[in-house]
């Protein structure tokens, strides 16, 4: 592992971040620890030594007037003896909770490290995960953070979206719509429970591409269906209550089809 003093400085394009409605605070900024403290100081926090990753830590703050439903960033890394960047450090997060509410609102922040992203406080982060990311960063000569895509809760999409964030988002929206329509056609309580059980036990397909997993809409469609089934199992055994909950989640997604926009996020 590189000594701390020789770790390359992380850079980014400020204009691209501002256009997407974000400000960026890096691990070497004096304000970083103050911004990161709410994520790290949790009464039940259990995590390993983050010191080696701190130079690559980033706090993203939503400076727009709208909640961010999903975002993706890329740690572009250049290694010794390799002049081209490696884009394998993609982090993509759907900030919506199980009720479909986007949790990255105006003025709120998220904390990310290579391979790790946090919308809420850290409660558990194994040392093995940290060690894995530290090993990946060995031999790095430069790191550039790229804001690849930001989708707001109304569907506005900013950024080049090279890794297909909109594909994932659309797949999840379609899964919610389809589950609601299917559930509405089920006549009896027993049939409804069988349907929910079937959703919760769905097997996920393998990702078609390890390098660009976001482009595999089938995986995210199936995973959302599975998650809806598990949420219904935990919430209620009553079909009417289940349908009402599905309708609320669907409504929050229904009017947010991703569409690209030019200019700054407002």
Average pLDDT over residues 226-251: 92
Is 61 in the same domain as 99? yes
- Residues 111-132, mean pLDDT to the nearest whole number: 73
Q: What does the pLDDT average to over 133-151?
A: 85
Check: CB of residue 75 under 8 Å from CB of residue 117.
Answer: no
Residue 186 lies in a domain: yes
State the average pLDDT for the chain: 83
pLDDT the model gives residue 201? 96
Task: For 38-74, write each residue's pLDDT tens digit.
Answer: 887 777 667 777 788 888 889 999 999 999 999 988 8
| Same domain membership, residue 178 and residue 111 | no
pLDDT tens across 223-236, in order? Answer: 999 999 999 999 88
145 and 254 in one domain? no
- Assign 1 a pLDDT band (cuts: 50, 70, 90): very low
Does 137 lie in the same domain as 250?
no
Tell me if residue 202 falls in helix, strand or coil: coil
Q: Is 103 left (phi over 0), alpha (psi -120 to 50) or beta?
A: alpha
Asked if residue 266 is part of any domain, the answer here is no
91, 124, 158: which is the final residue of a domain?
158
pTM for this model (two decimals): 0.83
> Cβ distance 43 to 175 under 8 Å?
no
Mean pLDDT of 95-100: 90
Is the same domain home to 187 and 219?
yes
Query: What are the two backbone dihedrals, phi and then psi, of residue 69, each rounded to the nearest 5 degrees?
Result: -85, -30
**189-200 and 239-254 are packed helices; what angle lies between their axes, rounded to 10 degrees?**
50
Contact 104, 64 (CB under 8 A): no
Distances (CA, A) of 20 to 23, 67, 74, 153, 160: 9, 12, 14, 13, 11
Q: Provide the residue range defining the domain that includes 61.
A: 4-158
pLDDT reported for residue 2? 42
Q: Does 222 lie in the same domain as 139?
A: no
Same domain, 251 and 179: yes
Residue 103 token pair: 């949790």
Model pLDDT, residue 132: 82
Q: What's the rounded Cα separation, in Å, for the pair 243 and 202?
A: 20
Q: Which has the closest alpha carbon to 132: 119, 114, 118?
A: 114
User: Distance (Å, rounded) from C-alpha 107 to C-alpha 265?
Assistant: 14
Tell me the average pLDDT across 68-92: 77
Whether 154 and 170 map to the same domain: the answer is no
Query: Per-residue pLDDT tens for 158-214?
Result: 988 887 888 889 999 999 999 999 999 998 878 999 999 999 999 988 765 544 555
The answer to whether position 169 is within a domain reads yes
**C-alpha dihedral (159, 162, 167, 172), degrees to nearest 10:** -70
Does some domain include residue 265? no
Confirm if 55 and 10 have CB atoms less than 8 A apart: yes
d(CA 255, CA 244): 18
Share of the chain above pLDDT 90, in %: 35
Q: What is the pLDDT of residue 25?
A: 93
| Measured distance CA(176)–CA(250) in Å, rounded | 6
Residue 77: per-residue pLDDT: 81
């Amino acid at each position: 592992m590189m000594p701390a003093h020789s770790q390359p400085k992380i850079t980014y394009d400020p204009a691209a971040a501002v256009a997407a409605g974000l400000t960026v605070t890096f691990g070497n900024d004096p304000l970083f620890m103050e911004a990161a403290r709410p994520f790290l100081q949790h009464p039940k926090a259990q995590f390993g030594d983050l010191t080696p990753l701190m130079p690559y830590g980033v706090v993203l703050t939503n400076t727009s007037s709208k909640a961010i439903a999903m975002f993706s960033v890329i740690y572009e890394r250049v290694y010794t003896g390799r002049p081209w960047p490696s884009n394998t450090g993609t982090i993509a997060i759907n900030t919506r909770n199980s009720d479909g509410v986007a949790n990255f609102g105006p003025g709120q922040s998220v904390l990310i490290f290579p391979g790790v992203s946090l919308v809420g406080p850290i409660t558990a982060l194994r040392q093995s995960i940290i060690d894995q990311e530290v090993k990946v960063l060995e031999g790095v000569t430069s790191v550039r953070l790229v804001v690849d895509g930001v989708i707001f809760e109304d569907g506005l999409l900013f950024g080049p979206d090279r890794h297909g964030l909109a594909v994932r988002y659309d797949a999840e929206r379609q899964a919610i719509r389809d589950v609601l329509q299917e559930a509405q056609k089920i006549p009896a309580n027993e049939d409804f429970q069988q349907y929910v059980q079937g959703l919760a036990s769905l097997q996920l397909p393998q990702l078609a591409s390890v390098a660009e997993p976001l482009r595999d809409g089938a995986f995210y469609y199936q995973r959302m269906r599975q998650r809806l089934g598990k949420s219904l199992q935990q919430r209620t055994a009553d079909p009417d209550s289940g349908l009402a909950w599905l309708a609320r989640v669907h409504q929050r997604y229904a009017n947010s089809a991703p569409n690209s926009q030019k200019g700054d996020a407002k």
